[in-house]
Structure 1
Amino acid sequence: MILPNRGLKLPADTDDLLRKLKLRTKVTPNVISRISFFKSVESGERYTGQTQVIDGSLTLDKITWLGELSDIIEATLKMLYPNLNNEKEYYQAWVFHVVHGTKMLRMVKSIDDLI
């Protein structure tokens, strides 16, 4: 287990974009965040230690954010970032990928575009 179990949040602008994407696609923010994470990882973009301001209002526990992909997401983070030392650093890496991937989805208009 490398991510905290409770109190996971994202930056406020990412929260807003996830809500807008939910209105357009009818897909919940937690599911879109999983898609965003993997879209970012697949793009080749990597977390380099920059700290994200995590000021969003949507606070969920790990199982809600990651769902059935929890082990896969954590294994992906360990594989990509074997030198990170603690939950906080892995959390920042996860946030980085969700933020980056969500920005990549900003033009999605419907669930068909998401798929």
Structure 2
Amino acid sequence: MLPNRMNLTRSTEEQLKKLKGYTGITPNVSARIAFFRSIESDFRYQGQEAKLDGSLVLDKYTWLGETSDVTELVLKMYYPELDTKGYQQAWAAHIQDGIASVRNHRALTEISSAI
């Protein structure tokens, strides 16, 4: 469903890297947190295609880790009509939405209490 190699928008990627500098949480783990924060907030991808121009291109397992099956099932449940490219766009949009709720935390303890 999701492609084996994925990336995000440059701005989202920069926010993930800044968060790593503040908290030590790697971009792939903070992307997982952001994705599920977005799902919890009832954000829905509306089909607007973003330019996924980030330089951090990782394989699907690195991005999703043990949440791989759950992430793909959630995307499939919310967006049954999408193709592989559409699923990647939806995944990236959810991360962009979700990172807004955690990007300003300066310590790991702040993030853990916020989620």
Shorter-chain TM-score range:
over 0.9
Q: Residue 109 of structure 1 is aligned with which of 91, 96, 106?
A: 106
Q: Normalising by structure 1, report the TM-score.
A: 0.94
Q: Distance in 2 between matches of 1:46 and 1:56?
A: 22
The one-character-per-residue Cα deviations of 1:53-104 (angstroms, maximum 9, x if unpaired) are 11111110000000011000000101111222x1001111001001111122
Q: Residue 71 of structure 1 is aligned with which of 52, 69, 72?
A: 69
Answer with 14-23 or 98-107: which moved more. Answer: 98-107
Q: Normalising by structure 2, report the TM-score.
A: 0.94
Q: Distance in 2 between matches of 1:114 and 1:105?
A: 7
Q: Which residue of 2 aligns with 1:47?
A: 45
Q: Distance in 2 between matches of 1:71 and 1:78?
A: 10
The runs of 5 or more residues in structure 2 that have no matched partner are none
What is the DSSP-based 3-state SS (H/G/I as helix, E as strand, rest coil) of the residue aligned with 2:58?
A: coil
RMSD of Structure 2 on Structure 1 (CA): 0.8
Q: Residue 92 of structure 2 is aligned with which of 79, 95, 99?
A: 95
Task: Report how far residue 39 of structure 1 moved.
Answer: 0.2
Aligned residues: 112
**Is residue 22 of structure 1 aligned with residue 20 of structure 2?**
yes
